[in-house]
């Protein structure tokens, strides 16, 4: 079983819509969590850290549920430029980040 | 310092040849990581350096793979006797202490194709 599991999607949404998706992690000792964005054939780029109390960064909201071991990302007012693969990441020990396989989001005009 | 730099960006090699990739991390980052990513998958951990010490190697890293970070700055990843299954994007990342909430900064990657 992979440490981080994500629904691969794709999530196809119209511009301006809200889209939300989750991931689950298996290691209850995981301490830090992140969402990365990856465009086609590019490197992953840090989108935001995920804090226990939930946090927002503009149109993006991340939530962490430690009891159920899942993390969510919500994108409001979707833009065409939000089309990408979103990687869920758990930090489980001193050094290693474990990545999910990614959720693909396509925003259409 | 504009980020993590990787060279080359692309490498095509014949099966059985050796290849070497280079990574220059962000200068103030003491932690350096190599990951591998294949199509449709997330990055998979290969190895980790803290300063010049290689502290962990994944079981994905067979004995054909070797990584070094001789002076705690740049790192090299060598693959000997390449196989077609080695074809992937090889990503280098650097960071400060992730336990304090710092994420990784990735380089643009080296895309390896073994023919």
Preceding amide of B70 cis, omega within 30: no
- Residues 18 to 37 of B: which have CB under 8 A from any A CB? 31, 33, 35
**Which of A53-57, A92-96, B23-27 has the largest mean confidence?**
B23-27
Q: Can you give the pLDDT at residue B60? A: 81
What number is the average pLDDT over the span B32-44? 94
Among chain A residues, the shortest Cα distance to B111 is held by A41
Residues B3-7, mean pLDDT to the nearest whole number: 96
Q: Does B101 touch chain A (CB under 8 A)?
A: yes
Residue B85 sits at the chain A interface (C-beta within 8 Å): no
The pLDDT score that the predictor gives to residue A32 is: 87
Interface check for B104 against chain A (CB to CB < 8 A): the answer is: yes
Residues of chain B neighbouring A46 (CB-CB closer than 8 A): 103-105
A 10 A CB-CB count for B59 gives 5
Tell me, yes or no, if A95 comes closer than 8 A to chain B by beta carbon: yes
Alpha carbons within 13 A on the beta-carbon side of B101: 5
Supply the mean pLDDT for chain A.
93
Inspect the interface and report whether the beta carbons of B103 and A49 lie closer than 8 Å. yes
Q: Does residue B1 register a pLDDT over 60?
A: no
Assess contact for B57 and B47: CB atoms under 8 A.
Answer: yes
B50: nearest CA partner in chain A: A95
| DSSP secondary structure, A14-77, as one string | ETT--EEEEEEES-TT--EEEEEEE-TTS--EEEEEE-TT-EEETTEEEEEETTTTEEEEEE-S
Interface contact flag, B42 A97, Cβ < 8 Å: no
Q: What pLDDT, on a 0 to 100 scale, did the predictor assign at position B108?
A: 95
Contact A21, A13 (CB under 8 A): no
Q: In chain A, which residue's Cα lies nearest the Cα of B103?
A: A46
pLDDT tens-digit map of A52-82: 888 999 999 999 999 999 999 999 999 999 9
Residue B2 above 90 pLDDT?
A: no
What pLDDT does residue B102 have? 78
Q: Which of A92, A88, A85, A94 is nearest to A72 (CA)?
A: A88
The model's confidence at residue A94, banded by pLDDT at 50, 70 and 90, is low
Could you read off the pLDDT of B47-104 as tens digits, one per residue? 999 999 999 888 888 899 999 999 889 999 999 999 999 999 999 999 988 777 778 8
């Amino acid at each position: 079983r992979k440490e981080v599991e994500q629904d691969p999607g794709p999530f196809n949404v119209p511009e301006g819509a809200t889209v939300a998706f989750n991931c689950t992690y298996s290691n209850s000792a995981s301490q830090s969590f992140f969402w990365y964005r990856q465009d086609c054939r590019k490197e992953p780029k840090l989108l935001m850290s995920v804090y226990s109390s939930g946090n927002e960064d503009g149109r993006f909201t991340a939530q962490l549920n430690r009891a159920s071991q899942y993390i969510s990302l919500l994108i409001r007012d979707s833009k065409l430029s939000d089309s990408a693969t979103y990687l869920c990441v758990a930090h489980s020990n001193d050094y290693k980040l474990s990545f999910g396989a990614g959720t693909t989001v396509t925003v259409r005009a | 310092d504009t980020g993590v730099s990787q060279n080359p960006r692309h490498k095509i090699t014949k099966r059985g040849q050796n290849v070497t990739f280079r990574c220059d991390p962000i200068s103030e980052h003491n932690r350096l990581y190599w990951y591998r990513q294949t199509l449709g998958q997330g990055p998979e951990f290969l190895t980790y350096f803290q300063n010049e010490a290689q502290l962990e190697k994944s079981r994905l890293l067979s004995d054909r793979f070797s990584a070094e970070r001789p002076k705690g700055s740049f790192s090299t990843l060598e693959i000997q006797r390449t196989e077609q299954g080695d074809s992937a994007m090889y990503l280098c990342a650097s960071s400060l202490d992730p336990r304090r909430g710092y994420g990784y900064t990735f380089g643009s990657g080296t895309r390896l194709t073994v023919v």
